[in-house]
């Protein structure tokens, strides 16, 4: 099974002036867990100089939102987590997740002419509703003083299914797609795709403090759910309505029978049984 060549990501980022270093591993249980562990070690030793990425060719215990497993295949997937310092303001963490997913989607469109969208809050989907990237954001709050908060953006990307040594099971191929198959630009590398993830994380962190663009307007350009009937599970509640974009902090705007509600967190899914 072919390597993705991700061991060269650090060189690629440096050559393209992307402000993050890279720790490469052939295999890791979870890049998010490893990034958090490295962050704690470096903070304890006062060695953190800035953003860094942890990338692995294979991930054996990947996890997504709500403790779901993320399955990766060496050569066909990209498993990466990017640790970035963010503003100490509470609203920074609130908007980071949605902003990072939005910027990643826009980067994939711009660089690879990818037909991609964001399914709130931040997963990357194809036009026909198949998942390309699963994204999990985790936060390490400041421990006092002038230390920043830290965000870890973990991304599992289906990069190129042609690298698989056997076909995907039917139940997986029905709900997943790879980036290569939805991109008009056919020739690009895993390093280029991974670099878009790092760029999105770094830029999202910067924009949580000094937004360069209006998040609702940005998100509207890539919103997979906009105008569609959805169910949103929030804790033990289930809400139904029409998805109407996001507010400035990344909350989902949901038009219900009782008016518009703004929802932070939760899981949104399309309703296909009836119109609302």
Mean pLDDT of 64-78: 61
252 pLDDT more than 70: yes
Who wins on pLDDT, 113 or 273? Answer: 113
CATH of region 229-270: 2.30.30.100
Band of the pLDDT at 2, cuts 50, 70, 90? Answer: very low
Residue 63 has a pLDDT of: 54
101 pLDDT more than 90: yes
SS3 (DSSP) at 36: helix
Q: Measured between alpha carbons, how far is residue 218 from residues 118, 142, 250, 269 in Å?
A: 11, 29, 11, 21
In the chain, what percentage of residues exceed pLDDT 70? 89
Residue 67 has a pLDDT of: 44
Residue 72 has a pLDDT of: 59
Rg (CA), the chain: 18
Helices (H), the chain: 9-15, 31-44, 90-112, 170-173, 190-209, 215-220
Torsion of CA 166, 171, 172, 176, to 10 degrees: 130
**Measured distance CA(84)–CA(260) in Å, rounded:** 33
Which of 195, 212, 197 minimizes the C-alpha distance to 17?
195
112 pLDDT more than 80: yes
CATH of region 6-220: 3.30.930.10
Q: Do domains 6-220 and 229-270 have the same CATH topology?
A: no
In the chain, what percentage of residues exceed pLDDT 90? 62
SS3 (DSSP) at 105: helix
Band of the pLDDT at 92, cuts 50, 70, 90? Answer: low
**Measured distance CA(249)–CA(239) in Å, rounded:** 20
When the pLDDT of each residue in the chain is averaged and rounded to a whole number, the result is 88
Mean pLDDT of 228-241: 92
Residue range 124-176, pLDDT digits in tens? 999 999 999 999 999 998 877 677 889 999 999 999 999 888 888 888 889 99
Residue 139 near residue 185 (C-beta atoms within 8 A): no
Which of 68, 224, 44, 50 minimizes the C-alpha distance to 154?
68
Who wins on pLDDT, 82 or 19? Answer: 82
Buried/exposed code over 118-141 (b: 16+ C-beta within 10 A; e: otherwise): bbbbbbbbbeeebbbbbbbbbebe
Residues 6+ apart with CB under 8 A from 245: 216, 219, 220, 223, 226, 252, 253
Q: Give the least confident one: 189-198, 221-230, 266-275.
A: 266-275
Residue 189 near residue 13 (C-beta atoms within 8 A): no
Band of the pLDDT at 66, cuts 50, 70, 90? Answer: very low
Mean pLDDT of 85-110: 87
275 pLDDT more than 90: no
Residue range 203-214, pLDDT digits in tens? 999 888 776 678
Ranges of each domain in the chain: 6-220, 229-270
56 pLDDT more than 50: yes
């Amino acid at each position: 099974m072919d390597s993705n060549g991700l061991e060269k990501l650090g060189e690629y980022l440096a050559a393209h002036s992307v402000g993050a270093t890279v720790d490469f591993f052939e295999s890791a249980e979870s890049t998010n867990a490893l990034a958090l562990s490295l962050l704690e070690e470096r903070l304890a030793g006062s060695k953190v100089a800035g953003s860094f990425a942890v990338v692995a060719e294979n991930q054996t215990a990947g996890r997504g939102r709500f403790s779901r497993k993320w399955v990766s295949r060496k050569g066909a997937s990209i498993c990466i987590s990017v640790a970035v310092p963010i503003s100490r303001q509470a609203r920074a963490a609130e908007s980071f997740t949605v902003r990072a997913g939005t910027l990643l989607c826009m980067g994939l469109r711009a660089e690879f002419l990818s037909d991609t969208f964001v399914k709130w809050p931040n997963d990357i989907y194809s036009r026909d509703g198949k998942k390309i990237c699963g994204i999990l954001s985790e936060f390490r709050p400041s421990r006092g003083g002038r230390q920043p908060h830290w965000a870890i953006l973990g991304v599992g990307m289906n990069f190129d299914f042609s690298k698989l040594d056997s076909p995907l099971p039917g139940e997986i191929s029905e709900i997943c797609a790879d980036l290569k198959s939805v991109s008009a630009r056919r020739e690009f590398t895993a390093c280029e795709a991974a670099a878009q993830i790092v760029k999105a994380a770094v830029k999202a962190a910067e924009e949580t403090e000094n937004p360069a663009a209006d998040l609702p307007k940005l998100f509207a350009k890539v919103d997979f759910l906009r105008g569609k009937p959805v169910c949103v599970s929030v804790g033990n509640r289930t809400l139904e309505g029409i998805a109407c974009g996001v507010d400035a902090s990344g909350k989902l705007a949901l038009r219900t029978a009782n008016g518009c509600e703004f929802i932070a967190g939760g899981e949104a899914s399309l309703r296909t049984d009836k119109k609302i």
